[in-house]
Amino acid sequence: ASGVSDVFRTGVAISGCDVMALRSCMELEAEYLQLLEKLYGKPVLPVGLLPVSIEDVGERGNNDTWQSAIGWLNKQRNGSVVYVALGSEVALSQDQINELAHGLELSRVPFLWAW
């Protein structure tokens, strides 16, 4: 707890760098990456999406929860499942998580929430 916010730290890092390397790719976020270049006046280098480690793949294959989720997903009609993955960039409050979950339930659309 240095008292310095993450936003401030990010701003200092961006202002002090020559190039911004981001975990992304042009195929998914071309407009966003081009906007960052324009806003910050620095080249943006998308380094691609980082693959999972071999250990993670091996563990996933033996995980009962994973197998259950894949089994359920395979029974759904193609294109009918909403995939929810919020990542770790922003922390939602418990109320926001509850509202999102409630909205998903009310939609009555099958969803897979990656947590």
**Token pair recorded at residue 14:** 């961006």
Query: How high is the mean pLDDT of the chain?
Result: 86
Q: What is the pLDDT of residue 16?
A: 92
- The per-residue pLDDT for 52 is 66
Confidence bin at 99 (pLDDT 50/70/90): very high
| Residue pLDDT, tens place only, 24-40 | 889 989 999 999 999 99
Give pLDDT tens digits for 45-81.
999 877 766 665 555 556 788 888 889 999 999 999 9
At residue 85, does pLDDT exceed 90?
A: no
Q: Could you tell me the CA-to-CA distances from 96 to 53, 83, 89, 91 in Å, in that order?
A: 31, 17, 15, 10
The reply to whether the predicted model has a pTM over 0.75 is no
